[in-house]
A and B are shown apart, each in its own frame.
Chain A
């Protein structure tokens, strides 16, 4: 049984039920039940000797038809047991013809609904992973390290929040992209690979809508995913970009990312994800860290500042300026930024070390370690401070 195939069918089946008259929340529940049922009853693969199955047709020949049939029955059962009897009778009367679905548009509508602006980021993420991604509540709960009951409540609240949203109105692609970016950026904790899942969902979105920023985000993800194996050492410690073994970067992923990015940039509708992907592509393009084209990277950061006006972007720009024009220029760019910015102290430490001031750098690295938002970074920064202090023979 191909779980990936099953999951890719999820949004289309939900959308079909909605078009038949089910409300989104009930349709989503019914499809989730059908998915669980599919995992239970579908064989690992077609076996010649297996007895013919009774029930809604042969699942292996027409998995989508099977899911639609089972989910629709679930939905009707539920509607029957609910108090909405009148509504149920109307629905049973017009047993719908399965008919081919215009899967693409429906899938797109689901993306919009699950990333609706009325949802908080964490609810939008959870709902997207379940209704578009076809993950179970348990899998999502494990990925985000919260109890299953908590995640179940988060999802059902999210469904209530969007219950009044019209399903046939186009939404805002930007909100969908932010949700997918969050999923990708979550890191690799838990037993669901959220980065790979985010790539799959962004790829599916790119197939449903022609938009340069969707392509930009997909390229960005592929280019970062290509470095995945080299980002951490065996012991789990962080390996900075300059020290990564570039021979182990995934060239296939890079090639695909660059091609997607170039096609998007050619359309001359620049957005923040395309600009971020362009920076990642310049890193990917450098055979060694020393060959990195920092001047061009600074130019892309200038574009990003123009597009987002984000202080975090300005901080990253200061690092790039430090590489392109020397640490003094980097420190000057940094001086214009508030030191309460996350990673400001770490960047200052790095630039002071490059400027030949290990004492200040060591002090700042130690301070940055105390402020680090995650363990891997804290350990990395602590090691930097320790390395400099040892070098000064304290």
Chain B
């Protein structure tokens, strides 16, 4: 009886394109502490699923990479990594990062 609504693949880049950022080039505010942990000791790699800005990618070779340019500074990746505590997470330097127009 229930009909599942068909939704075309979501391009989060198109959403993020509407946002305003002041990127602190060369100074990412999020990084992986120990890459080996992500590759060999974390099956879930939940950061790659839960990040609302798709900053985290599960690579084909098992590695996890993060590019924080589109980050919405929510904190999800840090908190969701509760078994490994493998995310180094700081706020961007003052004035940098996401600049919400409406919030």
Tell me, yes or no, whether A binds B: no
Chain A interfacial positions (CB closer than 8 Å to B) = none
